[in-house]
Amino acid sequence: MQLKKIILKGFKSFPEKTTLEFNQGVTAIVGPNGSGKSNIIEAIRWVMGEQSAKTLRGDRMNDVIFSGTNERKPLNIAEVELILDNSDHYLGIEYEEVSILRRISRTGDSTYMINQQECRLRDIVDLFMDSGLGKESFSVISQGKVEAIFNSKPEDRRGIFEEAAGVYKYKVRKQDAEKK
Ligand code: ATP
Ligand code: MG
């Protein structure tokens, strides 16, 4: 599985439709301070189901919508689409190419799509949780996370190993089943 493309529209500092394509190998995103590098990583977290505005450095989820500059009016909708090559069927879904889309409007409407079909947030979260790429996984390591791992309590560190070993998803399912 490979990240092929990310398309941002109205997300944080990207008011214009912005497409980033990723080729084979390592991709580095470079740019001056404040140019939007972290915003791109946050867009990936967001479209994969992040529900904490704080993790995305905001107070409310609406803070991901472009809030305007001196030259540009604020926008009312933010949208991120992630396109993944799934020809090896790493994600448990039959499509060779998988598109994940998340949209939010200032009025509070949220839309989630997998391959242009509307779905629930839960479907997106589940798709990635099964792959070990979920929002709690270590596929995205943010500034400060490394330090947090070193300083964490033993039981929290155990959680990190459970996620890496692929046990975490079963724990979540067991907890869900016990609640029912
Ligand atoms: P650094 O090198 O310092 O880590 P960076 O390239 O990671 O910088 P970001 O943190 O991604 O930069 O971008 C910060 C910029 O994004 C700030 O200028 C901030 O005003 C802008 N920004 C964040 N949220 C929004 C929003 N909702 N609307 C418009 N601009 C936003
Ligand atoms: Mg940054």
Check the annotation: does 137 bind a ligand: no
ipTM value, please give it: 0.98
CA of 12 to the centre of ligand 1 (A): 7
Q: Say what the pLDDT of residue 147 is.
A: 83
Q: Say what the pLDDT of residue 148 is.
A: 81
Task: Judge contact between 80 and 102, C-beta under 8 A.
Answer: yes
Ligand 1 atom at shortest distance from the alpha carbon of 74? 28
CA of 20 to the centre of ligand 1 (A): 17
Per-residue DSSP letter, 29: -
Instruction: Please tell me if the CB atom of residue 66 comes closer than 6 angstroms to any atom of ligand 1.
Output: yes
Task: Judge contact between 163 and 132, C-beta under 8 A.
Answer: yes
SS3 78: strand
- Nearest residue CA, atom 14 of ligand 1? 34
Q: Say what the pLDDT of residue 63 is.
A: 97
CA of 38 to the centre of ligand 2 (A): 4
Q: Say what the pLDDT of residue 137 is.
A: 66
Q: Say what the pLDDT of residue 39 is.
A: 96
Check the annotation: does 15 bind a ligand: no
Task: Work out whether the CA dihedral 54, 43, 90, 120 comes out positive or negative.
Answer: positive
Q: Say what the pLDDT of residue 135 is.
A: 62
Instruction: Please tell me if the CB atom of residue 143 comes closer than 6 angstroms to any atom of ligand 1.
Output: no
Q: Say what the pLDDT of residue 16 is.
A: 97
Task: Judge contact between 76 and 106, C-beta under 8 A.
Answer: yes
- Tell me which of 6, 9, 12 to substitute to probe ligand 1's pocket, judged by most ligand atoms within 8 Å of the beta carbon: 12
Show pLDDT as tens, one digit a residue, over the chain (180 residues). 899 999 999 999 999 999 999 998 999 999 999 999 999 999 999 999 999 899 899 999 999 999 999 999 999 999 999 999 999 998 989 999 999 999 999 998 999 999 999 999 999 998 987 777 766 666 777 777 788 888 889 988 888 788 777 787 788 889 999 998
Distance CA 1, CA 89 (A): 7
Distance CA 139, CA 150 (A): 17
Check the annotation: does 105 bind a ligand: no
